[in-house]
Structure 1
Amino acid sequence: MAVETLIRENWTVIGSTAELRILFSGGIESAVLMGEAIEAGLEPIPVYVATGTRWENTELKSANIYLETLEVGLSDKIIIRKYIPGDVEKHWAYNKGGYPLAKEDVQTLEISGRNETLLREVVSFGEDDQKLILVIGTTADNPFKDGDRQFYSEMETTLSAQRRARVTILTPLKGLTKSDVIKRGKRFPLGLTLSCVAPLNGKACGVCIKCASRTAAFLTAEVIDKYEMEELNES
């Protein structure tokens, strides 16, 4: 079965009594997922989990601007969950020091336990007996242990046990690379998304490992990156 067909069928399957929550960061992957869900006639709830990373202020602003362009009234409905880890103060993502540059190993991006933290926060509100479907934009490019199907299956079991209703985790983009996702979602305003670990004055830095990955992915996809973040101001 083609990946494209599988993704479309996922959106059809989740049109049920379960509440659909998308882990929404304003990045390329979650932006495409949000757009697809809306196109499918669903009512996704965008959830942004703030953990104190250095890129959050700019990222959250870009996320809201992207939602506004979809013109479905979601911009005032983005749910922000705050969770500040207590054991990562020395990690580069939580301070203003150095950060991974373009040619550094992708392993430098790892934040231990991050996906577990995000998923736990996404289910931490609402009625315990409400069935939930969580959608996360992990792709084939993710090399970390908390990005494989076994991890998500285990999290489904754990989170369901904490509630009185089933929690299902979908990863519709798992078989795709970032460039595949760009090609698939090029009809959406991807120029409003952010892919940067060290935004400066409201714009992507252009030299970090995430900026380099984005540039390479757009080139591979043969899609022009219409990056439009000039109006944002990092605070």
Structure 2
Amino acid sequence: MREDDTRTAAVLISGGIESAVLCATMLDEHPRVQPIYIRCGLRWEEVELASARAFLAAVARPGLARLVVLDEPIRDVYGPHWSTDGPEVPGAETPDEAVYLPGRNLLLTVKSALWCRLRGVATLTLGSLGSNPFPDSTDEFFRDLESVVGRALSGSPRLIRPFARLHKADVIRRGAGLPLHLTFSCIRPVAGLHCGLCNKCAERRDGFRDAEVPDRTRYAEPDRA
């Protein structure tokens, strides 16, 4: 194992608003920021990954490392499921629980923590929000996970969640000067655009409204609110 790299903070990034803002703002606190994307084989990831690359290119500055992409296939576990190739993608009217992906936070965090441990990166940051209702997003979950991973690997990066007390609108306000239109939050993309009809598109639109920040996102379907 390498000695701890205290200068680098890894960021588990998707194409979404929270992890994108986190990645950009961590550069104000760390000399080097290493974004990590985990590819699981889900239906939106081609567009999501392209969006993550576009955002990182737009905010590039000294200290921002090249994106690392790791594979953690999950299609064979989920089987026929809306997140892989099932037809019933949760719509705008569905509750948050409808988009829960069992075990995903566990898999993503363990994979990226192992990558960090083998390279001596001492800090892994995640963009999970305080409003996230799922059992694998609580303070207790991440505290226990850090402990378990540390025992398994004889050491673990610290798991830091700077937005754990915030809501989406709070993060949007923090990132208002960033190219948030390049981020991606849709679970049923249409020709590379946000569909405008799914649960995550509705959440995104609500976040911009609550933040009172103009939404420059391109949606395939106009807002019907």
Same fold (TM over 0.5): yes
- 1:194 alignment partner, SS class: coil
Partner of 1:9: none
Partner of 1:50: 39
- 2:123 alignment partner, SS class: strand
Work out the number of aligned pairs and report it. 215
Partner of 1:217: 207
Percent identity between matched residues is 31
Paired residues of 1:129 and 1:163 also in contact (CA < 8 A): no
Task: Give the alignment of 1:60-139 within 5 angstroms.
Answer: 60-72=49-61, 77-85=66-74, 86-125=76-115, 128=118, 130-139=120-129
Distance in 1, Cα, partners of 2:16 & 2:159: 19
- 1:45 alignment partner, SS class: strand
CA positional deviation for 1:131: 4.8
Matched, 1:182 2:172: yes
Matched, 1:173 2:171: no
Distance in 1, Cα, partners of 2:126 & 2:180: 17
Unaligned runs of 5+ in 1: 1-15, 231-235
CA gap of 1:17–1:150, structure 2 versus 1, over 3 A, is same
Distance in 1, Cα, partners of 2:116 & 2:130: 31
Name which of 113, 123, 134 aligns with 1:144. Answer: 134
CA positional deviation for 1:30: 0.5
Unaligned runs of 5+ in 2: 221-225
> What letter matches 2:29 in structure 1?
A
Distance in 2, Cα, partners of 1:148 & 1:177: 14
Query: Which portions of structure 1, spanning 4 or more consecutive aligned residues, are displaced by more than 6 angstroms?
Result: 73-76
CA positional deviation for 1:75: 8.2
Distance in 2, Cα, partners of 1:91 & 1:53: 10
Name which of 158, 180, 204 aligns with 2:194. Answer: 204
- 1:81 alignment partner, SS class: strand
Paired residues of 1:18 and 1:130 also in contact (CA < 8 A): no
Distance in 2, Cα, partners of 1:212 & 1:124: 34
> What letter matches 1:208 in structure 2?
C
- 2:93 alignment partner, SS class: coil
CA positional deviation for 1:44: 1.1
Paired residues of 1:67 and 1:74 also in contact (CA < 8 A): no
CA gap of 1:210–1:127, structure 2 versus 1, over 3 A, is closer
TM-score, with structure 1 as normaliser: 0.85
Matched, 1:32 2:21: yes
